[in-house]
Structure 1
């Protein structure tokens, strides 16, 4: 007997709206629980990282160093919130701030050059990236875009912003 769970949607070619809602309402708590159980690498455990840190680190890892205001825009939070997060993570040796050579008043934030810390961050993010890669592989680019838009719409609606 297989221990793999059959997807809530089964193998049907399509779902009614109510069937899809039921499947997602049953699936999302399992996804959230699994994410909460994701182990933070030993090197990062003492840093008390939260999900918001995961998003910040993802942007810096995938898109490279950037100013605090750009991070704030992408994270959809106030620049002061990002500045506090960056200050905290800089003190702990996770992030570094450098002066922008084009505008000396602006700081550029980057993941530390420390190979052990950087490797731990990459390892932590790789689990989710690999799971998404597997999920997205059979989809067309248009289907991937629709999925991302759907999750964004759900997130907005679940927060009450779409009311």
Structure 2
């Protein structure tokens, strides 16, 4: 696909073809057998992806990144902890703070499932300059915002 010199309408036409393919590929990603019984909902995916990428975070850090209330994250963490997906431990640097991570027994299956996406993003983004990455991310965020505002 040649994208050199696309005007806005040509870019839209290309994206109208590309985005449904992208969504279809994501939906067809095989969920590992050991993850299926956990009944993970879409709301859990970003939380798990952040923990795969950053290893461990506090509830407040997760809330900030997910752009939702800490109480909502706390409820999700409690739910996933009961299912044996997540673990909480005290932060050795601040005993009042709890760090959340993926349970070691669950990490390989979750990494197999969600890690493919991170690998694909890395492959797509690494050739870009930091400025090109910023524009790409801001464009996707603007698109999502425009869709949200239309509702």
TM-score (norm. length: structure 2):
0.88
Match of 2:124 in 1: 135
Partners of 2:81 and 2:9 in 1: CA distance: 47
Question: What is the 5 A alignment of 1:1-163?
Answer: 10-114=1-105, 117-160=106-149
CA drift at 1:16: 0.3
Q: Distance in 2 between matches of 1:143 and 1:29?
A: 23
CA RMSD of aligned residues (A): 2.0
Mapped to 2, the partners of 1:68 and 1:101 lie a distance apart of 16
After TM superposition, the structure 1 stretch with the greater mean CA deviation from structure 2, 151-160 or 128-137, is: 128-137
Tell me if the contact between 2:31 and 2:113 (Cα under 8 Å) persists in the aligned partners.
Answer: yes
Deviations 1:50-84, CA, capped at 9 Å, x for gaps: 23212111111211211111111110111121111
**Is the partner of 1:13 in helix, strand or coil?**
coil
Quote the Cα distance in structure 2 between the aligned partners of 1:113 and 1:26: 39
C-alpha distance in 2, partners of 1:144/1:27?
19
Residue 12 and residue 86 in structure 1: after superposition, are their counterparts in 2 closer, same or farther (change >3 A)?
A: closer
Q: Which runs of 4+ in 1 moved over 6 A?
A: none
What do residues 76-128 of structure 1 show as CA deviations (whole Å, max 9, x unaligned)? 111121111111111111100112344444321111122xx111111112211
Q: Would you say how many aligned residue pairs link Structure 1 and Structure 2? A: 151
TM-score by length of 1: 0.82
Unaligned 5+ residue runs, structure 1? 1-9
